[in-house]
């Protein structure tokens, strides 16, 4: 049985437009809810894989350690664009690199992201 509608107030103490329909259910779900910070970090993690260039970089590096220009050749995107994306991946500590004279070799530095990638691939391939 559904409870009556209730007007609630937000933190600014304004009249809140939101009306809850099922107070009990809302309270229960809200209790188990992600914190704003958790939701933020979670979506940030998924954002890394939300770009086709980055997914392809990660996929390529899951197969072999590669230098920047070889990643560029494999994926068919300019060296500059790859370098920019590698910086994103570096900042998130998802790849590591090794310098050998002029060359810079990149490889994956996070097992989780590979798991996530493969889980996503499974979903796409049904």
Partner DNA sequence: TTCTCACTTGAATACTTGTTCAAGTGTAAC
Partner DNA sequence: GTTACACTTGAACAAGTATTCAAGTGAGAA
Q: Which residues bind a second copy (CB under 8 A)?
A: 8, 10, 17-22, 25-26, 28-30, 32-34, 36, 38-43, 45-47, 49-52, 54-56, 59-60, 63-64, 66-67, 69-70, 72-76, 78-79, 103, 112-113, 115-117, 119-125
The secondary structure element, H or E, covering residue 67 is strand 66-67
Q: Which residues of 100-122 are buried (b: 16+ CB within 10 A; e: fewer)?
A: eeeeebbebebeebeebbeeeee
Residue 107 contact partner, candidates a second copy, DNA, none, CB within 5 to 8 A by sort of partner: none
Number of other CB atoms surrounding residue 35 within 10 Å: 8
Residue 81 contact partner, candidates DNA, a second copy, none, CB within 5 to 8 A by sort of partner: DNA
């Amino acid at each position: 049985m559904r409870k009556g509608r209730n007007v609630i107030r937000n933190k600014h103490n304004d009249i809140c437009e939101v009306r809850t329909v099922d107070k009990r259910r809302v309270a229960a779900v809200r209790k188990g809810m992600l914190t704003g910070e958790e939701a933020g970090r979670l979506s940030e993690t998924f954002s890394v894989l939300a770009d086709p260039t980055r997914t392809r970089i990660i996929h390529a590096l899951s197969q072999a350690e590669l230098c920047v220009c070889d990643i560029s050749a494999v994926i068919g995107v300019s060296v500059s664009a790859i370098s920019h994306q590698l910086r994103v991946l570096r900042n998130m500590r998802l790849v590591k690199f090794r310098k050998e004279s002029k060359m810079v070799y990149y490889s994956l530095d996070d097992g989780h992201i590979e798991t996530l990638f493969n889980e996503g691939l499974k979903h796409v391939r049904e």
